[in-house]
Amino acid sequence: MGFDCGFDIYPRLEATAVNKETYRRFLDEIIRTYGDVYDKEGRRADGKVLDMPTDSDHCDKVYVWFMVGECPHMPSNPDRCDYFLRFSSKISGRLTTPAEPYIRSVHKIARKYFGSRVHFWHEMNETGDERQWGYYDWREVHDASKKLRVLETGRELDLTNRAWEERGETKSTPLDTTATGLEQPCAANPPQASNLVQDYGSSGSALDQLRIDVEGNVYAIRSDPRPFLGIARTNVLPLGSEAREGGLFLGASRINHSCRHNAQNTWNANIGRLTIHALSDIEEGQEITISYLSRRMEHAERQRFLKEKFYFDCRCDLCMLPLAQREESDLRLRKIQSIDDALGDLDETTSDYDAGLHLVRTMLRLLEEEGVWDAGVPRAYYDAFQIAIANGDEARAKIFAERSYAARVIIEGKDSPESARLKLLADRPAQHWLYETCLDSPQGISPPPQETDGMEFDDWIWRENEWSKQPATSSVNDPWDVFGEDL
Ligand SMILES: [Zn+2]
């Protein structure tokens, strides 16, 4: 579940003397850079990030391991540089998110040594010039790994003696959850797709034209002693959801923030423009708002974040709710985050099909109740797609991909790279690398009902009947109990 990021060395290095020497110098720099780094979110008890063949308790000398996330790794022997195909990890879950900064910084080092052979990829990539999946399929990567192990140790991997194995390191999250009766259909009430409010080309340097206004949720840039830096820092909008770069836009940078925003800003690398799409109907004269938050946050954290980064106290509709309702909202947001984390940590090859779908459905219901219609919606449907396709269930996978696509189009438009990718998946779901990878798929998956809407169809999509047959388990002490309380 979730999504991966990493980089591939493509075309593959040949094991020439020059390449071996280059790889040795690359490894030296890696060890110099990370040898003394400790990370409390790492996998080792002592927090040490690098796991080296020279460590006394090293479990696998074939690789140098980064003990974060899914433990990305690289061959430890420079003579085997031709087996360095990929450095990657899942990065979307509670346990795997810490891997991303390491992947990005190792990628930079790799570029220094291997140049244009190094290709960064990110499954949720929206920057257009980079791929969403790697240059090899996973079978090639696994085969190379197997072969390298035989070359180096004379035998294949003995799973009983290994702590980690590619893509299998993340423990699947226990899905002991308790159902609390029937859920309502989760379909949100999406606005029409023709909701492009505006798109903006990159701005010039007319910084002084930006409005300076300390009323409401507008950047209080006067409070910054370094005005130009202040203007840049508080007005740039990110160029892609994972991008480190931002752009200053004379129009879009003036759009105010709301924690319950009615529009979405997206950098569309396909057309080289920032787009603003309406997320709901906007009345004439009603203010258009976007979110400045970097992720979903509860009230206190939102206030802290906006004060620190943008120097204002948020007085949006959500933040001004009466205390009791705000606490309800916070509770819902907490639950949404719990499910998001659980889905991110889910291992699609071993997890329970029906429980996984039930989690996604619950999250969509919570998002709808919270009035959220943002990138969380297409992401949730994409999660459902991954669960279905891993179980070889093409019929449902196709529908989930279509729903993810439709939701993505509302947020970003048809011409965004992510929308295009989802369209491809909806057309050919079985081409996804997770297809039929689940080890324990249910037998005899039922065909869809005749009617393609209504409760019956909804129950079929989410396998509600199969889920309701599962024995209810106690939710006491279950950290992922997101069903235990009524909202
Ligand atoms: Zn607010």
CA of 317 to the centre of ligand 1 (A): 7
CA of 319 to the centre of ligand 1 (A): 4
CA of 310 to the centre of ligand 1 (A): 12
Same domain, 343 and 443: yes
Q: Are strands 289-290 and 256-257 parallel, antiparallel or unpaired?
A: parallel
Q: What pLDDT sits at residue 432?
A: 82
CA of 67 to the centre of ligand 1 (A): 38
CA geometry: angle at 69 spanning 64 and 71, to 5°? 20
Same domain, 108 and 43: yes
CA of 127 to the centre of ligand 1 (A): 28
What tokens appear for 319 in the block? 């933040």
CA of 4 to the centre of ligand 1 (A): 31
Select from 153, 180, 195 the last residue of a domain.
Answer: 153
Instruction: Please state, in angstroms and rounded to a whole number, the distance separating the CA atoms of residues 78 and 17.
Output: 10
Q: What pLDDT sits at residue 212?
A: 34
Same domain, 414 and 452: yes
Same domain, 42 and 113: yes
- Residue 213, domain member (yes or no): no
Same domain, 448 and 403: yes
CA of 316 to the centre of ligand 1 (A): 4
CA of 464 to the centre of ligand 1 (A): 36
For residue 393, give the CATH number of its domain. 1.25.40
Q: What's this model's pTM, rounded to 2 decimal places?
A: 0.57
- Residue 103, domain member (yes or no): yes
Q: What pLDDT sits at residue 164?
A: 30
Same domain, 142 and 278: no
Residue 5's H or E segment, with its range, is strand 4-9
Residues of the chain with pLDDT below 50 are 127-128, 158-194, 199, 201-226, 474-480, 482-487
- Residue 122, domain member (yes or no): yes
- Residue 87, domain member (yes or no): yes
Q: What pLDDT sits at residue 485?
A: 43
CA geometry: angle at 375 spanning 369 and 381, to 5°? 75
Select from 119, 153, 187 the last residue of a domain.
Answer: 153
CA of 12 to the centre of ligand 1 (A): 49
Question: What is the 8-class DSSP label of residue 276?
Answer: E
- Provide DSSP, 94-114: TTTTTHHHHHHHHHHHHHHHH
- Residue 405, domain member (yes or no): yes
Instruction: Please state, in angstroms and rounded to a whole number, the distance separating the CA atoms of residues 161 and 157.
Output: 8
Same domain, 391 and 269: no
Same domain, 283 and 385: no
Q: What pLDDT sits at residue 217?
A: 43
What count of Cα atoms within 13 Å lies in the side-chain half-sphere of residue 404?
Answer: 29
CA of 322 to the centre of ligand 1 (A): 13
- Provide DSSP, 436-475: T--TTPPSSPPPPPS-SSHHHHHHHHTTHHHHHTSPP---
CA of 255 to the centre of ligand 1 (A): 14
- Residue 315, domain member (yes or no): no
CA of 302 to the centre of ligand 1 (A): 7
Q: What pLDDT sits at residue 58?
A: 63
Q: What pLDDT sits at residue 233?
A: 61
CA of 333 to the centre of ligand 1 (A): 14
Q: Which of 356, 340, 341, 352 is nearest to 438 (CA)?
A: 352
CA of 288 to the centre of ligand 1 (A): 14
Same domain, 352 and 392: yes
Tens digit of pLDDT for each residue in 414-439? 888 888 888 988 998 888 878 888 87
- Helix, strand, or coil (residue 118): strand
CA of 312 to the centre of ligand 1 (A): 10
CA of 381 to the centre of ligand 1 (A): 26
Q: Please name the residues in contact with 91: beta carbons below 8 A apart, sequence gap of 6 or more.
A: 2, 3, 4, 5, 69, 97, 99, 100, 103
Q: What pLDDT sits at residue 457?
A: 82
Same domain, 422 and 350: yes
Same domain, 270 and 363: no
Question: What is the 8-class DSSP label of residue 183?
Answer: P
Domains contained in the chain, number: 3
For residue 266, give the CATH number of its domain. 2.170.270.10
CA geometry: angle at 377 spanning 304 and 267, to 5°? 70
Structural domain harbouring 410? 326-468
CA of 320 to the centre of ligand 1 (A): 7
Select from 153, 170, 202 the last residue of a domain.
Answer: 153
CA of 257 to the centre of ligand 1 (A): 8
CA of 483 to the centre of ligand 1 (A): 27
Same domain, 139 and 249: no
Instruction: Please state, in angstroms and rounded to a whole number, the distance separating the CA atoms of residues 252 and 200.
Output: 7
CA of 419 to the centre of ligand 1 (A): 29
CA of 9 to the centre of ligand 1 (A): 44
- Other Cβ atoms less than 10 A from the Cβ of 294: the count is 10
- Residue 210, domain member (yes or no): no
CA of 298 to the centre of ligand 1 (A): 10
- Residue 317, domain member (yes or no): no
